Amino acid sequence: MCASLRGVPRYRVRWVAPGALAGHGAAAGALLAAPPGLALGWLAVTTIHATRQTLETWRTVRLPLPAPLPSPSADMTDLLHLTTALAALRAWDSAPAVVFAALLAATLALGAIAGALAALLAALLFNAAAFLGRGFVVELEPVADDD
């Protein structure tokens, strides 16, 4: 060892509290899940609106026939049994902010859970490695105040 480090106190870390890392892991997981959550919310709102518009145009479909015959019209959503789906799409399309916020919140919650579980796993692996070995040595050195 270097002569300047002889007086440095050394500590052996044998255990880390798993709960101490869970909060940081949850925050990191939620932060990492935010961009996909925003994209998922926007994609869902856009898809709901486009699907509703498509089904609305299918409400009245005219079948072209030769000139002397009248052109009948048909409700394709009724014929395809899509009236309940159209009603649900109308309800969801009437509140796009709620759909967006719900999907974003669900994505953030899943990211936070995944981050907390990853942090717990990292702490458990650290503790297992420290138990199997002699722990991890941390060297501390004093820092001069910049006042």
Give the pLDDT confidence of 33-43 residue by residue, as tens digits.
999 999 999 99
Query: Is the model more confident about 57 or about 141?
Result: 57
- 0.95 cut: is pTM over it? no
Calpha distance 71→60 (Å, rounded): 12
Question: Per-residue pLDDT for 9 more than 80?
Answer: no
- The terminus-to-terminus CA distance of the chain in angstroms comes to 31
Residue 119 — pLDDT band, cuts 50, 70, 90? very high
Domain ranges of the chain: 12-139
Q: How high is the pLDDT of residue 1?
A: 46
Calpha distance 61→51 (Å, rounded): 17
Q: Which two tokens stand for residue 21?
A: 């890392």
Q: b vs e for 23-33, b when ≥16 Cβ sit within 10 Å of the residue's Cβ?
A: eebbebbbeeb
